[in-house]
Amino acid sequence: MALLHPSTRRLREWLETPPGAEPDAGVEEHVSHCERCADELEALDATAEVGVGETSEVRVALQEVLAPPTGLEQRMEDRIEAALLARRDLKLLAGLMGVSIETTRLLMEPPEEPRS
Amino acid sequence: MDLDEAEQLRLLVREYSAAIYRVALSIVRDSALAEDVTQDTLMKAWQALPGFRGESSLRSWVLRIAHNTAISTLRKRRDVLADPNTLPERETRGSVERDAQDRAVMAEFTQALEELDELSRSIVVLRELEHQSYEEIATTLDLPLPTVKTRLFRARRKLAHALEGWK
């Protein structure tokens, strides 16, 4: 890490690098390890945070594009139950065959597609 | 699986499925793949639960597993798909009543989100949607605190820029 702290002006320019433009690599490298400059950037950050429970446009948009689908929890319960049952069956089969689960899994895997 | 274990698993599913899914989707950008990551994460967390030492909150620990699982899933996927343009594209979720302008802004926002690196996406999601503190995010993702802050500020600014046309 460079020892000299970037000036406030350089920090602001780095923070405000427009999308698509290359940020100042020296500042980038320095600020990712310097607590003092990270604190200064926090003070300079114009996208000041809102508190938990309040909304910001970025938060609302993130909630929109990353919303979990309906019925996710039930689907997870069903899929995990099926996976555990399959694993239990595999264990049982391995016991009957007297081989390890890994060996059983390998034996039960479909053959690889021939490479063209 | 005894009753206690079954109950633990059910609690994990109910408490963390949505948060895991959001972290996963922000990284893998594909809803079906994000569900696979959610399932894998829940099973890994449940199996590793007896070894959880409480050095961080359970939520941070679970989300760390989610982040690592999503990254590793994406890497495997990239190995299979040599051309990065064939990676799954995230569809823009939209309500029927949203007008064309809003849809365009949301598409721009989605693109801005995808243009962030994976780490920055996770940091933004953990901060904005999971309401983690900077310190918690640093613990969850095993990063220095300044890295968390600086990536967050830059990422949030880029995302806010994409939303400028949004009323």
Q: What is the pLDDT of residues B98-146, one digit of tens each?
A: 567 777 888 889 999 998 999 999 999 999 999 999 999 999 999 999 9
Is B59 at the interface with chain A, CB within 8 A?
Answer: no
- How many whole angstroms separate alpha carbon B18 and alpha carbon B64? 14
| Confidence (pLDDT) at A54 | 47
| Confidence (pLDDT) at B123 | 95
Please indicate whether, in this complex, the C-beta atoms of A67 and B124 are within 8 angstroms of each other: no
Distance, in angstroms, between A1 CA and closest chain B CA? 13
Among chain A residues, CA nearest to B14? A73
Among chain A residues, CA nearest to B160? A58
Report residue A86's pLDDT band, with 50, 70 and 90 as the boundaries. confident
Q: How far is CA B42 from CA A86, B18, B33, B61, in A?
A: 17, 11, 14, 11
- How many whole angstroms separate alpha carbon A27 and alpha carbon A4? 10
| Confidence (pLDDT) at B162 | 86
- The token pair at A112 is 């690889």
Q: Tell me the backbone φ, ψ of residue B23, rounded to 5 degrees.
A: -65, -45
Please list, residue by residue across B54-77, b when 16 or more beta carbons sit within 10 angstroms of its beta carbon and e when fewer do.
Answer: eebeebbbbbbbbbebbbebbeee
What residue ranges do the domains of chain B occupy? 1-81, 94-167
Which of A33, A73, A76 best probes binding to B when mutated, by most B CB atoms within 10 angstroms? Answer: A76
Q: Do B1-81 and B94-167 have matching folds?
A: no
Residues of A with CB under 8 A from a CB of B: 15-19, 23, 31-35, 37-39, 41-42, 45-47, 52, 56-59, 61-69, 72-73, 75-77, 79-80, 83-84
Please give the class, per CATH, of domain B1-81. mainly alpha
| Confidence (pLDDT) at A103 | 74
- How many whole angstroms separate alpha carbon B71 and alpha carbon B120? 13
Chain B residues with CB under 8 Å of A24 CB are none
Q: What is the pLDDT of residues A40-84, one digit of tens each?
A: 888 887 655 554 444 588 899 999 999 999 999 999 999 998 888
Using a pLDDT cut of 70, give the percent of chain A over it: 75
| Confidence (pLDDT) at B82 | 53
Q: What is the 3-state secondary structure (H, E, C) of chain B?
A: CCHHHHHHHHHHHHHHHHHHHHHHHHHHCCHHHHHHHHHHHHHHHHHHHHHCCCCCCHHHHHHHHHHHHHHHHHHHHHHHCCCHHHCCCCCCCCCCCCCHHHHHHHHHHHHHHHHCCHHHHHHHHHHHCCCCCHHHHHHHHCCCHHHHHHHHHHHHHHHHHHCCCCC
| Complex ipTM > 0.90 | no
Using DSSP's 3-state secondary structure scheme, residue A68 falls into coil
DSSP A99: S
Residues 91 through 150 of chain B touching chain A, CB cutoff 8 Å: 92-93, 106, 109-110, 112-113, 115, 124-125, 128-129, 131, 144-147, 149-150
| Confidence (pLDDT) at A53 | 46
| Confidence (pLDDT) at B86 | 52
**Mean pLDDT (chain B, rounded):** 85
Higher pLDDT, B166 or A53: B166
Right CATH number for B94-167 from 1.10.10.10, 1.20.1730.10, 3.40.50.300, 1.25.40.10?
Answer: 1.10.10.10
Q: What is the pLDDT of residues B51-108, one digit of tens each?
A: 898 888 999 999 999 999 999 998 888 766 655 455 455 555 555 455 677 778 888 8
Q: Tell me the backbone φ, ψ of residue A86, rounded to 5 degrees.
A: -60, -40
Segments of chain A assigned E as strands = none
pTM recorded for the entire structure: 0.78
Which residue among A19, A65, A73 sits closest to B93, beta carbon to beta carbon?
Answer: A65
Closest CA to B49 of B4, B97, B113: B4
Q: Which residues, other chains included, contact B153 with Cβ-Cβ below 8 Å and sequence gap of 6+?
A: A15, A41, A42, A45, A47
**Taking 70 as the threshold, does the pLDDT of residue B36 lie above it?**
yes
- How many whole angstroms separate alpha carbon B53 and alpha carbon B64? 14
- How many whole angstroms separate alpha carbon A9 and alpha carbon A53? 33
